[in-house]
């Protein structure tokens, strides 16, 4: 019996679709959140800052509408600091983080996770494992994700969230998984990584000595994988995890 304790789960292409369309009202919602985040500052300066952020963040939006895994040339914090600087505002860490959260477009009630996502989280819990989200993001930090997962009714089945924003490095850099291990307080061989990308999820997990399940609920069937198990959907993933636990 394997003594797996923690499932480290990717989000884009794993629990959520790889992409979703930018919706009408996204920009307006962003402006309102940004204005609230900058409450107390001169209104004209804030309006100029919002216009600059919305114009400068096109690459971030493109990343969001195409894939959450894309490597960006300019990181979110750097982009935000540049916008603050241009308006003569101080780019201190707490302002940057408030703006980053305001820029993260939250999921809404129309948003659907991939089929079987909720069931997978419940199956992991039933198998006696904890779940830690381990995700590459551009704007989202752990707090933004907590809001999203609460709205989706999935937060109760999640024990921790680590994003590349929190870890300071994008997968395949091991920082996200290492931070998740530290947070969960377990060694690598007690972790199983569940993700849809061979390069960003499976390879760094194997290099750390973790167990791995490659899933493709929103991707073409992979031609080959070094993962311990490969599952076409999230129900099959739950079964693969159960089998993994029973294998000597």
Q: Interface with Mg ion by CB under 5 A: which residues?
A: 10, 12-13, 196
Q: Taking Cα atoms as reference points, which of 199, 246, 248, 247 lies closest to residue 227?
A: 199
Complex with Mg ion: residue 57 or 68, whichever CB lies closer: 68
Q: List Cβ neighbours of 183 (8 Å cut-off, separation of 6 or more).
A: 132, 160, 162
Shortest distance in whole angstroms from residue 33 CB to Mg ion: 25
The gap from C-alpha 31 to its chain's centroid, in whole angstroms, comes to 23
Complex with Mg ion: residue 49 or 215, whichever CB lies closer: 215
Give the strand order in the sheet containing 130-135: 160-163, 130-135, 6-9, 191-195, 211-215, 229-231
Complex with Mg ion: residue 8 or 37, whichever CB lies closer: 8
Query: In the complex, which residue's CB is closest to Mg ion?
Result: 13
Please, are residues 159 and 35 in contact by the beta-carbon 8 Å criterion? no
Shortest distance in whole angstroms from residue 231 CB to Mg ion: 14
Please, are residues 136 and 164 in contact by the beta-carbon 8 Å criterion? yes
Shortest distance in whole angstroms from residue 44 CB to Mg ion: 41
Helix or strand holding residue 96 (H, E): helix 93-103
Complex with Mg ion: residue 103 or 114, whichever CB lies closer: 114
Query: What is the token pair recorded at 57?
Result: 């963040």
Complex with Mg ion: residue 34 or 217, whichever CB lies closer: 217
Task: Please count the residues of the chain.
Answer: 248
Shortest distance in whole angstroms from residue 48 CB to Mg ion: 36
Shortest distance in whole angstroms from residue 12 CB to Mg ion: 4
Q: Taking Cα atoms as reference points, which of 192, 197, 228, 190 lies closest to residue 215?
A: 197
Shortest distance in whole angstroms from residue 136 CB to Mg ion: 7
Complex with Mg ion: residue 60 or 217, whichever CB lies closer: 217
């Amino acid at each position: 019996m394997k003594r797996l304790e923690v499932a480290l789960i990717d989000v884009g292409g794993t629990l959520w679709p790889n992409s979703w369309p930018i919706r009408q009202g996204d920009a307006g919602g962003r402006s309102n959140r940004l204005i609230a985040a900058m409450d107390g500052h001169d209104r004209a300066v804030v309006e100029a800052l919002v216009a600059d952020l919305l114009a400068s963040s096109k690459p971030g939006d493109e990343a969001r509408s195409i894939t959450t895994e894309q490597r960006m040339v300019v990181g979110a914090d750097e982009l935000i600091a540049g916008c603050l600087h241009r308006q003569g505002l101080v780019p201190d860490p707490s302002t940057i983080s408030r703006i980053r959260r305001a820029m993260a477009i939250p999921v809404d009630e129309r948003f659907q996770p991939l089929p079987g996502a909720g069931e997978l989280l419940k199956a992991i819990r039933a198998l006696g494992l904890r779940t830690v989200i381990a995700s590459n993001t551009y704007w989202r930090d752990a707090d933004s994700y907590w809001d999203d997962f609460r709205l989706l009714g999935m937060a109760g089945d999640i024990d921790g969230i680590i994003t590349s924003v929190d870890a300071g490095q994008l997968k395949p850099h091991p920082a996200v998984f290492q931070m998740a291990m530290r947070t969960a307080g377990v060694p690598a061989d007690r972790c199983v990584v569940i993700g849809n990308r061979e390069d960003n999820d499976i390879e760094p997990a194997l290099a750390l000595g973790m167990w791995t399940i490659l899933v493709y609920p929103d991707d073409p069937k992979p031609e080959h994988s070094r993962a311990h198990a490969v599952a076409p959907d999230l129900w099959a993933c739950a079964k693969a995890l159960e089998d993994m636990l029973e294998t000597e």
